[in-house]
Amino acid sequence: CVIAAAASLWILQDWQGRRLHAVMGNVAATASRYLEQVLLQYRDGKRDDLPWRIARRDMHNADAALSVALGNMLREPPRVRPNLDAGFRFLALSNTLLGHLSALGAHREQLPALAQDQAALAAGQYIHQALAGIAGALANRQALPAAQVDERAMAQALEEDSSTLDERLGLIHTQLALVLRLLPRLRQAA
C-alpha cells in the first residue's frame, strides 16, 4: 500500500494544476464554436439539429470540467497549483460568458435583418476569432494574442445602436457588446 501511494505521489502524478491551461483552452474553444452555432441559427432559422446541440452541450461540459478541475486542485499540494486564483477568476468569467451566449441562444430564430447589420456581423466574427485565439494560446502554452481592435469602442457602438433597432436585433447587439467587454478580463485571467 505504501509503495502504491508513493508511486502515485512521485512517479505517476496527474496533477490538475499542470493541465489547467488545457482545460481553460477547451472552455474558450467550445465557447467559440457555441457562438458560431448561435449566429448560424439567427441567419438560417431556429433548428435543434445535431451541431447545435453538440456545441451547446460541449460548452456546458467544458465549463463543468473547469469547475471539477479547480475543485480537484484544492486537494493538491500548493507547489503544483500556482494558478488556482487565476483559474477561479477564469471560471467566473466563463460562467458569465456562458450566460451571455445562452441568452443569445434562447432567443434564436431567423432574423434576416442580421445579414445587413455589419456591426453585429463584425462583432460576432471578431469574438469568434478572439475566443479561438485565446483557446489556441492556452492549449499551446503561448502568449495570448492582443486585441486586434478597440473592443470597448466596438462594444460602445453596438450598445448605442441597440436602442434604435428592433427588439430582437437590439438583444443581439447588447449580448455581443457584453461579450466584447468580457474579452479583456478573460485574457487577463488566462
Summarised one tens digit per residue, pLDDT across range 129-185 is 999 999 999 888 888 877 788 888 888 888 887 767 788 888 888 899 999 999 999
Mean pLDDT, rounded, for 59-78: 87
Grid coordinates representing 42 are: 439567427
d(CA 84, CA 66): 11
Is the pLDDT at 12 greater than 70? The verdict is no
Give the C-alpha distances (Å, rounded to integers) separating 41 from 3, 90, 115, 116, 131. Answer: 56, 27, 12, 16, 19
pLDDT by residue (tens digit) across 81-123?
A: 677 788 899 999 999 999 999 998 888 788 777 878 888 889 9
Given a cut of 80, is residue 186 above it in pLDDT?
Answer: yes
Give the C-alpha separation, 130 to 91, whole Å: 18
Q: Residue 11 pLDDT > 70, yes or no? A: no
Phi and psi angles of residue 81, each rounded to the nearest 5 degrees, phi first: -135, 55
DSSP string, 121-174: HHHHHHHHHHHHHHHHHHHTT-PPPPPSS-HHHHHHHHHHHHTTS-HHHHHHHH
- Please tell me the predicted confidence (pLDDT) of residue 142: 85
71 has a pLDDT exceeding 90? no
Residue-wise DSSP of 30-56: HHHHHHHHHHHHHHH-----HHHHHHH
